[in-house]
Chain A
């Protein structure tokens, strides 16, 4: 080879190496986003997965929005009127709303959507239980004739936690609530580009040019005007956290939804990357016991366990020692929200005394029965909770059988009501979004509805009665008093044990502005 050829080849190779710029995420109109998990299920009514809820808010819209003070405000509706002493609600749709297929949004579409959603959502179920008739007297009016007062109607229809009260055309809403819809046609600020979807890797959204944002209000969580600045939003699933962090640092991606706790210090030091906590409600860790099987079918044993729980230990294991990222002293309702209360909290916040817990357990009749912990070892956060949980249970003198499984197996195993020698279980650990625990409406883990309830199947007529009273309460002051009572009753019946609140950091390029508070929402965000 001649020297000239070698130099030519070298120059060509150099140009080749410079080419990565071609694949960078610097397009002014495309936002490249790494979601918290892969988007496998698209139907926001069909699953409670938060990643699907986040996708849902791009494609679909809701009748009401929820702001950062957790108050509902009109979103698709222009407003509503209340008649007959609160028993007749007429909701009027805003003009100009269109589905992504170009057809107008009709009240009958919304009626069908509400009916489908309510079959999958506890808050929706409570609303429909209070509803005598839901109808669409004309194209713009959604009418609720109620059997009893339900002042939280806008809150139910504007709730931001899963299950999202997404509105869809009646032809899609007619799909059985337990079968996934086949098409993504909403009326939200972005359209789903089905042709570019690669499950497990990529989801693409294009701006809905026909979207009419609200003219009034301020953009705050899901409330107010939703203005889409990017032409396209691309979700790129990157399963490995270290790779996700590197992709953000290099500028290949613009935004990483769930920056993992161990990589936050690195990202905080990285040039061009901003780390922040957008959702002050974070996640609430919980320990759930099986109330159908010994030893936790004994309420005195469950109460004794409360004395063994150290929330700060659990939280440090989950997110580290930076106390800005977690809170202990967490009760039944999400800290910092209207119904959070200190009532009865001393059972969790007083000094931990394991000798007393042991004595209480013995007095309650604990005889060294095996306690099976089913642990999702493939979820680092859940595993950390379980590791600390196993430790404090052992310190309390329980005979712990720690069974490391994968999350899929935990989900299956926890459906078993059998004794532990026949594949049953005693304890599992999980975490819920703080917004799921704002109030008793969507807070499934405090329910005491027995075998038809959530896994663990606690029975507590007292809690159920207080919850029903909360729905009927005429004002917030009464609701707050009821929440005090609910929390005290939770510490008597112990349907679950709160293990603390941890906050989730998000990380994005510092060229992005307008990243909204709350979960990952894509309106208002722009590149400067």
Chain B
């Protein structure tokens, strides 16, 4: 197992290298010029050219790429063209809000979606099943920003229960931290809940029709034990898979959610950097996200062994 983990971690290196080359090349050929954006609308072409040179943007592709790779290998993701701050510092500043958002989203989603899917499968064809699936379809269909606006209007602006926007670091109090994140987490988690609930329902339906479940019933096992001990554990592998895959959509959704709720997280950092062509920040964030994504997939693979002892690496 340990050797497997080591192999998988080592396998991230070529993946990261490909991502790095791909992102760097894509940014190089993409239109846009950070020097022009920095200089502002009224700057002269000569001013822009001087800034471009001062930023080293006039250097050939291979020289820039080589220099960047060397810095990355030395643990330096570079310095933001605009803010003059190290990219690692900017990522560090933004990571807590995004991790907090994702953690609460994940917790809410799993807490609601799995029981919902289980109950929908158990009560297949009943009103409960239909309501659960309508909720699931809505979750898929309504865009994050619409849900966000509606939640903010109802719970923040009209009822005044929670803040409209912003983020309070957890060090300044768990309650304000949580209150700032509850609406964005629900908005972001809705599609995730829908996805997990549907997969849970479908997998549970398949499992519940198997012989060993009938045997368990025949032996007099209670409904709760059948559903959550016997059936759910065997349905867990596809559910865990979809939780891992859905992580990518969470990252994408975080970009929108963080903008709507003004959360200073990595999603907003990424969008801002792309709009400004802040190349070092884009490269740093994409590298980090791809690394995290690889690790999440590794975690999912390892979780398989927990739910299904037949799986061994």
| Chain B residue nearest to A430 in the complex (CB) | B41
Residues of A contacting B252 with CB < 8 Å?
Answer: none
Give A22 Cβ to nearest chain B Cβ, in Å: 5
Residues of B contacting A102 with CB < 8 Å?
Answer: none
Range class of the B interface residue count: 35 or more
Q: Does A337 contact B (CB under 8 A)?
A: no
CA distance A105 to B42 in the complex (A): 30
- Whether B165 lies near A412 (C-beta < 8 A) is no
CA distance A409 to B36 in the complex (A): 9
Q: Does B66 contact A (CB under 8 A)?
A: no
CA distance A62 to B217 in the complex (A): 84
| Chain A residue nearest to B268 in the complex (CB) | A200
- Whether A178 lies near B269 (C-beta < 8 A) is no
CA distance A219 to B200 in the complex (A): 66
Binary contact track A1-31/B, C-beta < 8 Å → 1, others 0: 0000000000000001101101110000000
| Chain B residue nearest to A408 in the complex (CB) | B32
CA distance A405 to B31 in the complex (A): 10
CB within 8 Å: A-B pair count: 160
Residues of A contacting B38 with CB < 8 Å?
Answer: 41, 46-47
Q: Does B85 contact A (CB under 8 A)?
A: yes
Residues of A contacting B238 with CB < 8 Å?
Answer: none
- Whether B152 lies near A243 (C-beta < 8 A) is yes
CA distance A47 to B90 in the complex (A): 21
Residues of A contacting B42 with CB < 8 Å?
Answer: 48, 162, 432, 436, 444, 454
Q: Does B48 contact A (CB under 8 A)?
A: yes
Give A54 Cβ to nearest chain B Cβ, in Å: 13
B interface secondary structure, majority = helix
Q: Of A120, A180, A200, A378, which contacts B269 at CB under 8 A?
A: A200
Question: Which of A176, A405, A412, A413 is most buried by chain B, counting CB atoms within 10 A of its CB?
Answer: A412
CA distance A453 to B47 in the complex (A): 10
Q: Does A342 contact B (CB under 8 A)?
A: no
Q: Does A84 contact B (CB under 8 A)?
A: no
CA distance A409 to B275 in the complex (A): 9
- Whether A252 lies near B165 (C-beta < 8 A) is yes
Range class of the A interface residue count: 35 or more
Give A220 Cβ to nearest chain B Cβ, in Å: 25
Q: Does A369 contact B (CB under 8 A)?
A: no
CA distance A411 to B52 in the complex (A): 13
- Report if A432-B275 is in contact (Cβ < 8 Å); known contacts: A238-B165, A243-B165, A413-B31: no
- Report if A199-B85 is in contact (Cβ < 8 Å); known contacts: A48-B42, A238-B165, A407-B275: yes
CA distance A444 to B149 in the complex (A): 41
Binary contact track B67-98/A, C-beta < 8 Å → 1, others 0: 00000000000001011110000100110000
Residues of A contacting B228 with CB < 8 Å?
Answer: none
Q: Of A23, A46, A198, which contacts B93 at CB under 8 A?
A: A198
B→A interface (CB under 8 Å): 31-33, 36-48, 50-51, 53-54, 80, 82-85, 90, 93-94, 149, 152-153, 156-157, 160-166, 168, 173, 175-176, 178-180, 259-262, 264, 268-269, 272, 275-277
14 A–B contacts, CB within 8 A, in A order: A19-B175, A20-B161, A20-B176, A23-B163, A41-B83, A47-B39, A47-B43, A48-B40, A48-B41, A178-B50, A199-B93, A239-B262, A405-B31, A408-B275
- Supply 13 further A-B pairs (C-beta < 8 A) apart from A23-B179, A198-B93, A250-B157: A23-B168, A40-B82, A41-B82, A46-B38, A180-B84, A199-B90, A202-B264, A239-B268, A243-B261, A407-B275, A408-B275, A412-B32, A412-B36
